[in-house]
Amino acid sequence: MTLTAALRAEWIKATSLWSTRVALAGYVLVVVAVSTGVAAAIGVEQARLDGAEYDPGVLAFYGLNFGHVAVIAFAVLLTASEYTHRTVHASLTAVPRRGVFLAAKVAVGAGLVLATAAVTAVVTLLATQAFMGEYAVGLATPGMLRATAAAALYPTLLAVVCMGVGLVLRDQTAALSLLVPLFFLVSPVLELVPGLQRAAVFLPDRAGQVALRLHDRPIDVFGPAVGLVVLAGWGAAALLGAWLLLRRRDA
């Protein structure tokens, strides 16, 4: 039983459900629509008001704040839902080595999110900039290529964190009700609390989003590359936890 066979199995699993396809399609739709809508409605006005402070990365990928709910859902559907629907016993009798199972599942999940998010990032950039008039930027603008790459990598690494958490919690409802409020509400709000700001930027989503910006903010304690590394560290920790528990617990 090899990793490639397990990868093929996970690929069929991930692509043979409506729910997972809807989650990925939802991500594309939400990110492109929200980003473009915001750019079209207030983009130029905002850029003029912000002046030198204007951050084209933040505006171009504004929709990611909503899109990551779809990423969380996708990650949970691949992991905790196997337990909720009791298919995990079949998975682990077919692929009994827990490390191979985990590696195949996370690789397929991350790969699908990366492909989806990369296409979405480019489309979003082009669509939003069409409404930005004199403030329009492109991949050639210094920092914008990196921000666009981050718009693909940030959701991918966030999905890895969520897949790890999904395998630890082993319950669809529990995983969704922890992750969605955490990354949609709690974490962004903590970043606004004066005493907590410098700690809040280390949270997975906040750290990853640092890489979307072209300008540093006063509260930032690290740059874009370190931001993605911090997020990847959360992902590694979540996977390590998942792996240890997969080995130790009854399926």
Partner 1 sequence: MIEVRSLTRRYGSVVAVDELTFDVAPGVVTAFLGRNGAGKSTTLRMLLGLDRPTGGTARVDGRAYADLPAPLHAVGALLDSSAPHPGRTGRDHLRWLAASNRIPSRRVADVLRLVDLSADAGRRVRGYSLGMRQRLGIAAALLGDPPVLLLDEPTNGLDPEGIRWLRGFLRDLAAEGRTVVVSSHLMGEVGLTADHLLVVGRGRLLADMPLAEFVAGQGGPRLRVRTPEPERLAGVLRATGAEVDLAGGALAVGGIAERRLGEVAARHGIPLLELRRDGARSLEDAFLALTAPVPTAAPREEVARP
- Decide if 216 contacts 201 (C-beta within 8 A): no
What is the number of other CB atoms lying within 10 angstroms of the CB of residue 161?
Answer: 26
CA 112 vs. chain centroid, Å, equals 11
For residue 17, state whether it binds partner 1 (rule: CB under 8 A). Answer: yes
For residue 86, state whether it binds partner 1 (rule: CB under 8 A). Answer: yes
Minimal distance, residue 250 CB to partner 1, in Å = 4
For residue 25, state whether it binds partner 1 (rule: CB under 8 A). Answer: no
Torsion sign (Cα): 225, 231, 235, 240: positive
Query: Rounded to an integer, what distance in angstroms lies between the CA atom of residue 248 and that of residue 169?
Result: 14
What is the SS3 string spanning 131-173? CCHHHCCCCCCCCHHHHHHHHHHHHHHHHHHHHHHHHHHCCHH
- Decide if 92 contacts 215 (C-beta within 8 A): no
For residue 226, state whether it binds partner 1 (rule: CB under 8 A). Answer: no
For residue 94, state whether it binds partner 1 (rule: CB under 8 A). Answer: yes
Contacting range for partner 1; rule: CB under 8 A; set: 6-14, 25-33, 138-146, 154-162:
6-14
Query: Rounded to an integer, what distance in angstroms lies between the CA atom of residue 232 and that of residue 251?
Result: 27
For residue 106, state whether it binds partner 1 (rule: CB under 8 A). Answer: no
- At 177, the amino acid letter reads S
Minimal distance, residue 43 CB to partner 1, in Å = 39
The interface mask with partner 1, positions 109-148, x = CB under 8 A, is ----------------------------------------
Contacting range for partner 1; rule: CB under 8 A; set: 87-95, 125-133, 156-164, 197-205:
87-95
Minimal distance, residue 199 CB to partner 1, in Å = 38
For residue 3, state whether it binds partner 1 (rule: CB under 8 A). Answer: no
For residue 9, state whether it binds partner 1 (rule: CB under 8 A). Answer: yes
For residue 251, state whether it binds partner 1 (rule: CB under 8 A). Answer: yes
For residue 95, state whether it binds partner 1 (rule: CB under 8 A). Answer: yes
- Choosing from 33, 44, 92, 221, the residue that interacts with partner 1 (CB under 8 A) is 92
Buried b (16+ CB within 10 A) or exposed e, 107-139: bbbbbbbbebbbebbeebbebbbebbeebbbee
For residue 87, state whether it binds partner 1 (rule: CB under 8 A). Answer: yes
- Choosing from 89, 173, 181, 193, the residue that interacts with partner 1 (CB under 8 A) is 89
Structure letter (DSSP) for residue 181: H
Which residues contribute to the site for partner 1 (CB under 8 A)? 1, 5-6, 8-13, 16-19, 81-82, 85-97, 248-251
